[in-house]
Structure 1
């Protein structure tokens, strides 16, 4: 058996591949920057080695210091250390001469830029050396069995049909190799209504999705809108979900020395990084030290961020030139947010996961939302969306390499929280925003009534806000946390319209629990419900009539409690499970007065988002409920967890069921 410190031919190759790009970049920089002279290319390789060794020596010494300084000073210290190491590499190595200190910045820039390009061209992968550096103080004892561990990677928005396409197209090479080698199995599971990230993560991490009806909703207890990507609101939601789970005898998935990274909720983890619900101002910079102190890593992220901005602008322009339909304008803050999400946040997540694996956490759960956000704006299976998906697949291999060298025997599970359905937006189909339609229908029968709507913000904005909070001062962090606060609706006849993908929740703040009976809605606004269901792009409206939950369509009604259908069943295009899921959601304490859902095309599965999204989720229809579970082949899905309520089908249904299955697998391996 090979010991931890054994050195192989592959290790030699990896070492050279990690040094050659840096040496090549230094050589290019020496020719581009005045004030640097090189007598022989050999000394450039020695200089690259000095950088690598200096990084290994200096960074452990910085750990105790930055633990007390916070993230922002850590960044400054990290960059300063990189410049100091570069200066040492250019002055201490014979055959190199740095004559102008001001040239150091230019050398730093050009070396970082060329190294990024060179590594991309030759396909250099120094993940094995990252593993060695991470675990050099925690070697696996030779001959001893390692305790088990679990790494759960959430690929946000990945649907089962797209996974199958990715296996054939070469987009998902890592997952494809695992499946073909037989180490893992893949199957779809149904993301029950609402098919949103907060609902699914509440189920995954806490075992309950109770009272989470959408991404944002009017809360009758707090009498304001709750939005799950706000730190303060996410903390409230997690507290409620945790209480419901504990009442049912469930504890958080990560409660036993687990780590939650980049998620909406913590899962009761003792180690939470970039988690919305536990976000706080400032904190220790130690988790980010490995990222910011490595030579050229921060510069690499900045350069890739700029590259991602250019790529997004080009891809959006290409959609317009080629007249790709459906499409939406891809401008404004989204361009920068996409760039940050697909580079900086992804890199930070990888480093943080690697650190927690090296620390031997029992369970690590991380969310990569790159694909989901690009698909919202570009389309579900468009080239740029698949490119983001391929990037996550490459990350999976790096994490698998880290897991293989960690002090635990980690098994890797891949899960998605939902899929995505594509289609032109509701505004493109109907000619106006849902907010304006509701306003018009309410105004037909009398004076103008106020309508308060929520902003169609992106999920990624919440994660970026968490990053800003973590790096900002306390005062700045609170400003970031509260800057999206909406006006609280009040007064008779006011209506809150909260959109979430192809669904919208209408609540009446002046009514008990924000709800009115369908008959009362008809008396106040006779044109509202009929006008909604007659509008192109609206599939049905759900409300209550004498304690019965009723689905109203353009040509009929479906009474969910009794199952009675009058006329044409409005739920027919949405499948046999739609009725039960709608009934469950409408019984939540947070359920709206009216639940509006878009139409679904029976052939293409296209839906119409009430937000500016080409790809959307949150409701029923298309690929949005067809989520993914990839698990070790020796771990079988329990048959009693499969739902056989529909003849001929036996899928896993609901994120809480995924939680139960993960818990059972953990018990099987004594985790």
Structure 2
């Protein structure tokens, strides 16, 4: 079924622009960039003059408070503070561009040091040069400068009611150099904004309620059409991005999987593994191959420029140092201090919201303490601001296409639930940011169209462990006990550390002192880069210990939301049920009978691929059902999805999916996440594609590969990809048929 939003009817097709397609200019050299940054800024209008006057007034008031509360800094008259505030503004305008240019030459070390000390040095200079101001040394000025920046950020947030427009306006000013260097063209560029985890039913309701003003306005005005696409099994970000960006979703059977040939566990959002997978996906004709830019994704889409992209951080070209977008964000006190203040606020808000859930007895819920509190601040504030700045920079440079993944909503929905107030508030924040980016695009040297899409939805439910008192790994270990069998598991919530992984890994891969410090702090790897297969003997508590992607265990259990796969490592190829029953008698039967298992997929010698459920069997290869159909609760497409998934390479010997629980329509994750995705059941397979109404879309869109083909057709109709030869896709690697 293909859902489309109400509104003006879409026109027949994409209108192809007649102008010759322009190509995005290459990045300027460091010396040229430094020279441009050194040019003096000019007052362009009375509006900007008024803005500067208001900024000076705010700085004066905040500086007065700072001097009053900070030891080691004093002033005799209020007029002296005003002079100091004015001088600080002049020094910042005159010297910060030079500092940015110098930091770009030095690399990440220069950027991080400049981010820490530039404001303090200018602050110290302004106070020292102002008559009537006393400063007891540089370090007094250093701490006072950070207090000043934080107070300015808080005051600005209060004055603007938390509006991000001021921040984006600042980014526009910082991107003037890119705008001046770009060649104007009438060929529209496209900004693809992935709202990670947004389901079509939730978007549909939010548009009707008006809780997402920007996207609701698009649909109600008829400028955009909201369509739904069917997410195929597995419903995970890596599989969907492999499909949307490369047209190769069949290369990924789950969020993580075990490869028997190499004895290695691959986790798709770990840098080393992502690079391995990227090499399998790339044919040089990805969605962004024609001069596009990948921002905060797992894979590059063959983009020439990849920023904060997991599969690119370990590539040799990643050591060239930070871009100007990174430098602008870290060096400018407004951007960095603003993000730090809002990050602290986000952590406090998370602690309050988590306690509120516990106090009210909200069910289902999970523990929301620990590292997640900091990770929420990173994804919902720091990376959102950084991503926005990088997108604006690329638009001002006239980049043909940009694809950026915003993980804010998905991160919070995993821990709070996909329809909980804090999750919806994050979605509203993203909607506001999308509106600001649309406004920023009006200043770009080319017109831009915005496309909003999701990689999957999310389903909700109490976890398997919460419902039954044990994990799937523990269940399997109990079922194979008595044979000296060792069981290893990869069921942790590695997905949530992915964005932080990418940023730290990118810095750690740089040469020089900064990279060495980061690598040493992380012990030579990115956060979570070492895969811990926690293995235990089925007959005792002996810990096998961590392994870097390798396992000597006899059984490996992995989880991706409410989808799990079980591998028997001592047997080559994909085992049949008869072989499993011989090696582990009663295992399959006991799994099928467990109330936390909706169905089990396995191959048989006599009947081929079968789906086993407690009360019936679906013989997929024979197209018949005996008893109660185990796939019945999962919709009419479930048989086709299970059959397709079973044919992918490196699928487990057993594939396990949780039930859909009657009454609530919830599922049970095999990870400790209340909002989850990966398997079948609930909203997790209902993706979103919000596109200009003048662009026609195929209906239905089944699978991420179909979305990729649709996006490529749109780009081609706009005048993109003319220099790319027709892609020849090698067939996906299939699994053992029998």
The two structures have a TM-score, normalised by structure 2, of 0.82
Which residue is 2:611 aligned to?
A: 551
Q: Report the alpha carbon displacement of residue 382 of structure 1 after superposing the two structures with TM.
A: 1.2
Which residue is 2:674 aligned to?
A: 614
Determine helix, strand or coil for the equivalent of 2:559: strand
Which residue is 1:539 aligned to?
A: 598
Match of 2:552 among 467, 490, 496: 490
Residue segments in structure 2 that go unaligned for 5+ positions in a row? 1-40, 509-514, 534-546, 721-738
- In 2 relative to 1, CA 38–602 (structure 1 residues): closer, same or farther, beyond 3 Å? farther
Which residue is 1:396 aligned to?
A: 434
Establish whether residue 79 from structure 1 lines up as the match of residue 116 from structure 2. yes
Establish whether residue 458 from structure 1 lines up as the match of residue 494 from structure 2. yes
Which residue is 2:657 aligned to?
A: 597
Determine helix, strand or coil for the equivalent of 1:186: strand
Q: Report the alpha carbon displacement of residue 302 of structure 1 after superposing the two structures with TM.
A: 2.4
8 Å CA contact 1:154–1:415 kept in 2: the answer is: yes
8 Å CA contact 1:499–1:505 kept in 2: the answer is: yes
Distance 1:375 1:591 in 2: 27
CA RMSD of aligned residues (A): 2.6
Distance 1:29 1:418 in 2: 47
Distance 1:32 1:550 in 2: 72
Which residue is 1:480 aligned to?
A: 526
Distance 1:423 1:582 in 2: 22
Q: Report the alpha carbon displacement of residue 462 of structure 1 after superposing the two structures with TM.
A: 2.3
- In 2 relative to 1, CA 223–101 (structure 1 residues): closer, same or farther, beyond 3 Å? closer
Q: Deviation per CA, 1:139-196, whole angstroms, max 9, x where unpaired?
A: 4999x75332111111110112222333355542222233233322212211111110
Which residue is 1:230 aligned to?
A: 270
Q: Report the alpha carbon displacement of residue 89 of structure 1 after superposing the two structures with TM.
A: 4.0
Q: Deviation per CA, 1:486-507, whole angstroms, max 9, x where unpaired?
A: 333337xx11101010010111
Match of 1:308 among 334, 346, 366: 346
Match of 1:529 among 555, 565, 588: 588
Establish whether residue 623 from structure 1 lines up as the match of residue 705 from structure 2. no
What is the count of residue pairs matched by the alignment? 644
Q: Deviation per CA, 1:95-120, whole angstroms, max 9, x where unpaired?
A: 76656644323432332222222222
Which residue is 2:4 aligned to?
A: none
Distance 2:267 2:627 in 1: 37
Establish whether residue 656 from structure 1 lines up as the match of residue 718 from structure 2. no
Determine helix, strand or coil for the equivalent of 1:210: helix
Q: How does 1:308-347 map to 2 (within 5 A)?
A: 308-347=346-385
8 Å CA contact 1:272–1:278 kept in 2: the answer is: yes
Of residues 321-330 and 285-294 in structure 1, the stretch that sits farther from structure 2 once superposed is: 285-294
Q: Report the alpha carbon displacement of residue 206 of structure 1 after superposing the two structures with TM.
A: 0.6
Distance 1:47 1:385 in 2: 43
Q: Report the alpha carbon displacement of residue 430 of structure 1 after superposing the two structures with TM.
A: 1.8
8 Å CA contact 1:36–1:100 kept in 2: the answer is: no
Establish whether residue 291 from structure 1 lines up as the match of residue 329 from structure 2. yes
Establish whether residue 134 from structure 1 lines up as the match of residue 175 from structure 2. yes
8 Å CA contact 1:490–1:510 kept in 2: the answer is: no
Match of 2:237 among 193, 197, 200: 197
Determine helix, strand or coil for the equivalent of 1:512: coil
8 Å CA contact 2:490–2:558 kept in 1: the answer is: yes
Establish whether residue 265 from structure 1 lines up as the match of residue 311 from structure 2. no
Q: Deviation per CA, 1:297-318, whole angstroms, max 9, x where unpaired?
A: 3233223222222222221111
Which residue is 1:27 aligned to?
A: 64
Determine helix, strand or coil for the equivalent of 2:312: coil
8 Å CA contact 2:236–2:254 kept in 1: the answer is: yes
8 Å CA contact 1:82–1:296 kept in 2: the answer is: no
8 Å CA contact 1:199–1:213 kept in 2: the answer is: yes
Q: How does 1:250-261 map to 2 (within 5 A)?
A: 251-261=285-295
Which residue is 2:12 aligned to?
A: none
- In 2 relative to 1, CA 356–529 (structure 1 residues): closer, same or farther, beyond 3 Å? same
Establish whether residue 383 from structure 1 lines up as the match of residue 443 from structure 2. no
Which residue is 2:310 aligned to?
A: 276
Which residue is 2:559 aligned to?
A: 499
Distance 2:418 2:178 in 1: 44
Distance 2:620 2:710 in 1: 29
Q: Report the alpha carbon displacement of residue 451 of structure 1 after superposing the two structures with TM.
A: 0.8
8 Å CA contact 1:27–1:41 kept in 2: the answer is: no
8 Å CA contact 1:313–1:335 kept in 2: the answer is: yes
Q: Report the alpha carbon displacement of residue 375 of structure 1 after superposing the two structures with TM.
A: 0.9
Distance 1:178 1:529 in 2: 51
Of residues 429-438 and 181-190 in structure 1, the stretch that sits farther from structure 2 once superposed is: 181-190
Q: How does 1:86-97 map to 2 (within 5 A)?
A: 86-92=123-129
- In 2 relative to 1, CA 49–194 (structure 1 residues): closer, same or farther, beyond 3 Å? farther
Which residue is 2:386 aligned to?
A: 348
Q: Deviation per CA, 1:433-463, whole angstroms, max 9, x where unpaired?
A: 00011111122xx424111111413323122
Distance 2:387 2:89 in 1: 23
